[in-house]
Chains A and B, each alone.
Chain A
Amino acid sequence: MGLRNASEDLSSEMEVDAFRRLFPLRYLERHLAESIRPDGRPLVKARETSIFLGAVASANGSALVKIGSTTMLTAIKMEVMTPSLESPDEGCLAIDFHMPPICSPIVRPGRPAEASPVVSKQLSDTISSSKMIDLKELSLVSGKAAWMAYLDIYCLDADGALFDAALLSAVAALSHLQIPAVAVNDDGKIVLVSDEDGQKQAQEPVNKEKRKLTLRSIPFSLTCILHKNYILADPTAEEESIMETHVTIVLDTSGQLISLYKPGGSVLAYTSAVQDCVALTRQRVKELKSFLDKENSAMEIE
């Protein structure tokens, strides 16, 4: 940013920067009064979003998602477990959200970021309550073996709206997931079947060919910041640090509300503000769904 204006008068540039650091709220409000945000976006516009499927070669499903600078890398690894007695024909999905020290100046090694367990929990709640995947599809041998899907999300660059990016990368990785073909061997263990020698062995195939999970309704989310007079969609880290009241709304592809999360904050959310946020999320969900569909159909052509 600084480099672009290098030829212009440096002193005025310095003043703006100083003003930005000394009076962050006033700096932002001056922008908002002009209906524009410091990064040049209109108030309700989300940042540029990109999805890249299959980013991790060694995983069964993976996705790299960028919303503005916020970057998330998700990989799913499938392992075999013995299902619990209560649900003998159900597999399991374990979601973990990691914030390694590379992603932000506030995370230090050995001291996990406060946000990471919060986002982890929010993600597992959202995905399980959206009924997006049927855990019965992860069953292999009733009562004996089932899939344990480890879904690990790594935040590579933290610049606001972490939950939105993490959820998008999680559902993208789930849509990319391919369950490997496996069989039961003589010891009762599950082994992989490779395409060439699958036929000639006397093993009992449990999952004959690679398959994808059926995703019923996909949840997508949008985080908005509430200010006295304005609503800002998809905040950056700077905006989040200045105004602390945010609302995260999760809708599924059929437009059904899955979760609404407003963890306190100094601004009260009136019905009208919440309705506005839901309307914004509805638009955003359409946009995100088309991004994901486009990526998935591109994968199928290959």
Chain B
Amino acid sequence: MAGKSGATPATYSPSLTTSDKKKKPPLFNEDWVRPDGRAFQQCRPAFFRTGAVNAASGSAYAEFGNTKVIVSVFGPRESKKAMMYSDIGRLNCNVSFTTFATPVRGQGSDHKEYSAMLHKALEGAIILETFPKTTVDVFALVLESSGSELPVIISCASLALADAGIMMYDLVASVSVSCFSKNLVIDPISEEENNQDGSLMITCMPSRYEITQLTVTGEWSTPKINEGMQLCLDACGKLAKIMRSCLKEAASDSQE
């Protein structure tokens, strides 16, 4: 078999020795501690910066722990030739991963599901009427992923849109929680996401208290959903404050 695949030999990344693997995944019980030592309702430290890519009309870089994302916004520019006439503007979203984003080397291809989700999350917040006949492109690249990529991409994208001067009703902030039987864990890392019983993600415009996207998967009880939603909304409010201060900083820097 090895001889057949001359140009691209089949490769594997060496795993840890078997004795290490036998350590069971942590039991998510009462006295369980999160792998990175955070409290259950504590988000990872968030870092945002606008203007990461000079070639774009607007861009932003976001870093939540080891999840690192760059979003570039291009346009408003001419729509594709095949597009029909449209009174309002179009939004085009694309999310892709680098080959080294995941611990095991991947293909680095486009992520269709995240692209569609990003589009739906932003659509409601952008005032499409302000750029008729044209298209705004929002492209995201996940440099490194260690959990909760989609919420980070969405928040980062709204910051990049603001940086590009695209009119929006409000900034869009997004946060997810994972559910482990009785416990709710905010802003989960990959290890937690792989073991979760259910997950909930909210994308909202905090100053208007409006939700643009809500996804719930897995096992949830109604009171838990309420609790999880409240948790996410509070966190989104705080996240939006950080994003706003990042924009203000960039604006005051450029004035000097």
Contact = CB atoms under 8 A, between A and B. Distances in A.
B108 interface: yes
B11 A148 contact: yes
B71 interface: yes
Interface in B79-122: 94, 96, 98-100, 102-103, 105, 108, 110
A75 B54 contact: no
Contacts of A3: 254-255
Q: Please list the 9 inter-chain residue pairs (A to B) with the smallest Cβ-Cβ separation, ordered nearest first.
A: A79-B11, A102-B72, A82-B2, A75-B100, A109-B94, A69-B54, A101-B139, A81-B9, A81-B11
Contacts of A152: 98-100, 108
A53 B9 CA distance: 29
B10 interface: yes
Given A109-B96, A110-B110, A77 B13 contact: yes
Contacts of A102: 53, 56, 59, 70-72, 139-141
A39 to B, nearest CB: 12
Nearest to A158: B55
Contact of B17 (A100, A105, A191): A191
B222 interface: no
A122 interface: no
A159 interface: yes
Contacts of B137: 101, 108
A197 B17 contact: yes
B18 interface: yes
A75 B12 contact: no
Contacts of A62: 100
Interface residues of B, number: 45
A292 interface: no
Contacts of B102: 58
A100 B139 contact: yes
A47 B52 CA distance: 18
Interface in A81-95: 81-85, 92
Nearest to B140: A102
A18 to B, nearest CB: 20
B15 A159 contact: no
A237 B55 contact: yes
A62 B101 CA distance: 12
27 contacts: A57-B66, A58-B66, A73-B143, A75-B100, A79-B11, A79-B14, A81-B10, A82-B10, A84-B6, A98-B108, A101-B96, A102-B140, A103-B55, A105-B55, A105-B74, A109-B96, A152-B99, A152-B100, A158-B55, A159-B54, A182-B14, A185-B18, A190-B14, A191-B14, A191-B18, A203-B17, A237-B55
A253 to B, nearest CB: 27
B19 A197 contact: yes
Interface in A167-217: 180, 182-183, 185, 189-194, 197, 201, 203
A52 interface: no
B163 interface: no
Given A148-B11, A154-B98, 20 more contacts: A58-B102, A59-B100, A62-B100, A81-B10, A84-B2, A84-B3, A84-B6, A100-B96, A102-B53, A102-B141, A103-B53, A105-B56, A152-B99, A152-B108, A156-B141, A158-B55, A159-B55, A185-B18, A192-B16, A193-B17
A201 B3 CA distance: 32
Contacts of A259: none
Interface centre among A81, A101, A194 (most CB of B within 10 A): A101
B237 to A, nearest CB: 28
Interface string B186-209: 000000000000000000000000
A282 B72 CA distance: 36
Contacts of A103: 53, 55, 72
Nearest to B139: A101
